[in-house]
């Protein structure tokens, strides 16, 4: 474990420390839309256990994990990265920072690089968890982007376990996009929203308020995205066009369109799909023409925006 690390302690958070007698919080329902297969990820299934892990080298080199564990037990270990997680259901029994904890659903987990921990199921049915691993360099980059200035220190979370059911629900939904989406912009914005949610609630003061927020060349970025309806555009591309930081670009995009970049881009894609279907093109070909991974991927977004399936729309 590292013994010398400069940390910023931004304030206390409510925690659950040892929760041996705590009642179980209602389990979080899994998000309705998460890609069935995490492409580019790895799966490790033991008896009654299911886990997938995804490495995103182009997004601060982070890793995401989604797992249901029943028989799994972890040996004492520590990570080189910051660990952010949520317990979605069941109970995880975990030793950390000198205390054995029974961590129920609705708990958000924060660990520093080098925090030794171990454990397993705290209930016969095991537990479900989602985890995000961010390197110290990646965390500094994220903090610098949010603070609009260079951050050289490290985060210091007073506690490892936080009883925050509302934050846990948001964590679960955003992590599902980060872990499962095939769209680069969706993953980019999900990571930004997830880190802002965690830091705003658990370390108040690190994320500044958006006062006199700059717009840069956001209109150019909007047109850039509009003209690339069939491409998998990244947030970094939009930042270069807008001449803004990641956080600033997302905020400016929301102010000008009412939507974050990925949602606005998907809406443009679906608009083009509608025109192609009206011209007699098949749904499969329309999906390919607009940059969707496949027809089912397009159809989910189509139904969510238009309210009917592509087939029903074409017949109408």
Last residue of a domain, one of 166, 184, 202: 202
d(CA 83, CA 157): 11
Distance CA 288, CA 285 (A): 5
Query: What pLDDT shows up at residue 45?
Result: 53
Give me the number of domains the chain comprises.
2
- Domain co-membership, 235 together with 93: no
Share of the chain above pLDDT 70, in %: 83
CATH of the domain at 53: 2.60.120.10
List the CATH number of the domain containing 251. 1.10.10.60
| Statement: the pTM of the whole predicted model exceeds 0.85 | no
Q: Are residues 104 and 132 in the same domain?
A: yes
* Cα-Cα-Cα-Cα dihedral sign, residues 70, 49, 1, 202: negative
Helix (H) or strand (E) holding 82: strand 82-96
Residues 161 and 248 both lie in one domain: no
Both 148 and 66 in one domain: the answer is yes
Does residue 181 lie within any of the structural domains? yes
234 phi/psi in degrees, rounded to 5: -100, 160
pLDDT of residue 228: 94
Per-residue pLDDT reduced to its tens digit, 151-196? 777 788 889 999 999 999 999 999 999 999 989 999 999 999 999 9
90 and 191 housed in the same domain: yes
pLDDT at 20 > cutoff 50: no
The answer as to whether 2 is a domain residue is no
Please report where in the chains the tokens 């308020």 appear, as a residue. 209
Q: Which of 202, 228, 244 is the last residue of a domain?
A: 202
100 and 81 housed in the same domain: yes
Q: Within this chain, do residues 192 and 97 fall inside the same structural domain, yes or no?
A: yes
Instruction: Quickly state the pLDDT bin for 211 (edges 50, 70, 90).
Output: low
Round to whole Å and give the CA distance between 284 and 272: 13
The stretch 3-7 carries a mean pLDDT of 39
Would you say residue 87 lies in a domain? yes
CA–CA dist 9, 107 (Å, integer): 21
| Same-domain check for residues 216 and 290 | yes
Whether the CB-CB separation of 119 and 94 falls below 8 Å is answered with yes
Whether residues 184 and 119 share a domain: the answer is yes
Which of 182, 202, 222 is where one domain is finished?
202
**Is 91 a domain residue?**
yes
96 within a domain of the structure (yes/no): yes
Q: Is the dihedral of CA 168, 169, 170, 174 positive or negative?
A: positive
Query: 261 and 198 in one domain?
Result: no
CB atoms within 10 A of CB 47: 7
pLDDT at position 209 is 66
Give me 142's structure tokens. Answer: 């994220």
Q: What is the pLDDT of residues 112-135, one digit of tens each?
A: 999 999 999 998 999 999 999 999
In a domain, 1, yes or no: no
Helix (H, G, I), strand (E, B) or coil at 5: coil
Task: Identify the domain containing residue 32 by its residue range.
Answer: 7-202
Q: Do residues 305 and 281 lie in contact, with contact meaning Cβ atoms separated by under 8 Å?
A: no
pLDDT of the residue at 260: 93
Whether 164 and 106 have beta carbons less than 8 Å apart is answered as yes
| pLDDT beyond 50 at 26 | no
The residue ranking higher by pLDDT, 22 or 140, is 140
Question: 123 phi and psi, to 5 degrees?
Answer: -155, 155
Q: Are residues 175 and 217 in the same domain?
A: no
31-35, 209-213, 219-223: the lowest-pLDDT one: 31-35
Are residues 203 and 10 in contact, defined by beta-carbon separation less than 8 angstroms? yes
On whether both 159 and 263 belong to a single domain, the answer is no
What are φ and ψ of residue 279, in 5° steps?
-85, 0
């Amino acid at each position: 474990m590292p013994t010398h690390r400069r940390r910023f302690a931004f304030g206390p958070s409510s925690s659950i420390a040892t929760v041996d007698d705590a009642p179980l919080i209602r389990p979080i329902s899994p998000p309705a839309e998460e890609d069935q297969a995490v492409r580019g990820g790895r799966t490790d299934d033991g008896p009654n256990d299911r886990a997938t892990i995804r490495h995103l080298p182009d997004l601060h080199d982070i890793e995401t994990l989604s797992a249901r564990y029943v028989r799994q037990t972890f040996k004492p270990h520590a990570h080189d990265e910051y660990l952010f997680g949520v317990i979605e259901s069941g109970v995880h029994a975990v030793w950390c920072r000198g205390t054995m904890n029974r961590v129920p659903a609705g708990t958000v987990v924060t660990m520093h690089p080098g925090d030794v921990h171990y454990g397993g199921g705290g209930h016969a049915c095991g537990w479900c968890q989602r985890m995000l691993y961010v390197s110290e360099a990646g965390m500094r980059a994220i903090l610098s982007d949010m603070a609009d200035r260079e951050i050289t220190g490290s985060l210091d979370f007073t506690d490892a376990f936080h009883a925050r059911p509302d934050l846990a629900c948001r964590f679960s939904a955003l992590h599902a996009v980060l872990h499962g989406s095939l769209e680069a912009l969706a993953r980019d914005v999900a990571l930004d929203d997830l880190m802002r949610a965690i830091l705003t609630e658990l370390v108040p003061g690190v994320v500044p308020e958006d006062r006199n927020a700059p717009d840069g060349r956001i209109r150019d970025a909007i047109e850039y995205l509009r003209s690339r309806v069939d491409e998998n555009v990244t947030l970094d591309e939009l930042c270069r066009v807008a001449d803004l930081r990641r956080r600033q670009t997302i905020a400016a995009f929301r102010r000008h369109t009412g939507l974050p970049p990925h949602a606005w881009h998907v809406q443009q894609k679906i608009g083009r799909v509608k025109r192609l279907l009206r011209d007699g093109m098949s749904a499969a070909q329309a999906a390919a023409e607009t940059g969707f991974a496949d027809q089912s991927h397009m159809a989910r977004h189509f139904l969510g925006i238009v309210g009917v399936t592509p087939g029903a729309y074409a017949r109408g």
